[in-house]
Amino acid sequence: MGRNAIETILGAVVIMIAALFMVFAYSSADLRKVQGYTVSANFPMVDGLKEGGDVKLNGVKVGSIASMELITKPGFEQYLVDVKMTILPTIKLPTDTIAMVASESLLGGKYLSLEIGVDEDLVPQDGNGRLTRTQAPMRLDDLIGQLIYSNKSGAAPAAAAAPPAAASVPAASAPQAAHP
């Protein structure tokens, strides 16, 4: 009977510790949606971004991605991704703010990073705000392919690429200019 009571108490302690860990993980993960004004931006591609993802300014979460929609640019046969994000109302964005897709780490997820501009005009907070300066994510496989291609495209080693040294002419045998 004593052994059953110890196992029950030990099981209850383990469950309480697991519950405390879950509460801590949820509160520190900052998974809540941001309430604020809507800003949109068009990107040529958004590899790795997800709805509900973070929008960060200087590494601090200031918003979340509300939606992503594939659109066509009028007059062009080009597809763009219209990203709508919700930004905290206390954050005032200049109209020349740059929105870019950034990586959390080499193998980690992606988030939307904002780089504040210097313009005095601000993005309207009425829900019709738009960022016109965007930067698509750098794709690791494309960078590796470019690196391999640039090394195979005939780039000569540094020693072979140097131009031949010019023949030096002794100063005494060089023709002298006549002075009038």
- Domain membership of residue 134 (yes or no) is yes
For 34-54, write each residue's pLDDT tens digit. Answer: 678 899 999 888 888 888 888
Q: Does residue 98 share a domain with residue 69?
A: yes
Q: Residue 101 in contact with residue 112, Cβ under 8 Å? A: yes
> For residues 40 and 1, which has the higher predicted lDDT (pLDDT)?
40
d(CA 63, CA 53): 9
* Containing structural domain, residue 6: 1-31
Q: Residue 51 in contact with residue 81, Cβ under 8 Å? A: no
If one counts the domains in the chain, the total is 2
Q: Is the pLDDT of residue 160 over 70?
A: no
The residues, any chain, with a CB within 8 Å of residue 138's CB and separated by 6 or more, are: none
Q: Does residue 46 share a domain with residue 126?
A: yes
Query: Nearest CA to 99 among 140, 68, 78?
Result: 68
